[in-house]
Amino acid sequence: MKRIVNFSSFNVFSIEKEVWDIEYHNHNFYELIVIESGTGTHYLNGITFTYKKGDAFLLRPSDAHEFSIKNKTRFIYIKFTEHHIWESLQTDKKAELHKVVRLMLEDSTFVYESAITNTTDRKHLLQLAKILLYEFGNKSMYSKETAADIFSAIITILIRNTMNSGGMERISKGFNQAERILYYINVNAMDANKMKLENLAKEFMLSRNYISIYIKKQTGFSIQQHVMHQKIKAAEKLLKQSNYNINEIADRLGFNDASHFNKIFRGYKNMSPSAFRKNN
């Protein structure tokens, strides 16, 4: 697989293509791809998604992808390093957003759809991406500073969509303890090491007994049930959107084997993974 290497900490450009001619690849940087126009499919980490105007895909260095274009598409690329995020975020936001940004950058869930779900945010982010593209290529006074502020705004919009929040008010107030733990579980459910009870408790500076009791009391479900819920959600997407066979899906999701996966999935969905795939 091809690996694209970028030696700049920040780069913004646009391309327009009728046919995708770049082979399946990954990078040594983070990349936000905003769809300015056009339609097609995005093949990311073995899963295919359709795309349209306003979609935005956040790729991490380990992600591999390529596009298949249906209608001529204009892409806006924003390439950046983790260090550049911390340089760009306004000083008074860094402490508040540090945890959420860290989770966003380290998201181990391998099923990624558009990073933008809110209709208004889709419009705003696309406009900001266009302005950022202009300012990045402009050599006028304060263009660099303006580009940094716009990039900060884009990251903030991504954060509140990642959090599935209703707006900036919740970000400014912050999560309560249960919400922080559940968000961490949602993000890292596929990472068996991070989901070990002792490691999860250590992350939030709690005892393993207390964190189990606390989450059960706050939500009515155990930590293991929350983890499994995320795995079943991921399994549904893989069954609908990928060509992986049942054994491969079971392995990717951390089940002991296909039989174990089949038993758990049937318990949640009242049908086997194969039946679910056929029906969808």
- For residue 183, the one-letter residue type is Y
Query: What tens digit of pLDDT does each residue of 53-74 get?
Result: 999 998 888 788 899 999 999 9
Query: What tens digit of pLDDT does each residue of 85-133 get?
Result: 777 665 455 555 565 566 566 654 444 578 887 889 999 999 999 999 9
Q: Cα separations (Å) of 243 from 45, 46, 246? A: 11, 8, 9
Average pLDDT, the chain: 83
| Gap between the Cα atoms of 43 and 163, Å rounded | 24
- For residue 277, the one-letter residue type is R
Helices (H), 138-188: 143-162, 168-173, 177-188
Tokens of 110: 């391998």
- For residue 12, the one-letter residue type is V
Q: Cα separations (Å) of 208 from 186, 223, 230? A: 18, 11, 21
Topology of the domain covering 177-279: Arc Repressor Mutant, subunit A (1.10.10)
Assign domain 2-168 to its CATH architecture.
Answer: Sandwich (2.60)
Q: Which DSSP helix (H) or strand (E) runs through 44?
A: strand 30-44
The domain limits of the chain are: 2-168, 177-279
pLDDT for 107 equals 54
User: Whole-model pTM above 0.75?
Assistant: no
Query: What tens digit of pLDDT does each residue of 37-55 get?
Result: 999 999 887 778 889 999 9
Q: Which DSSP helix (H) or strand (E) runs through 200?
A: helix 197-203
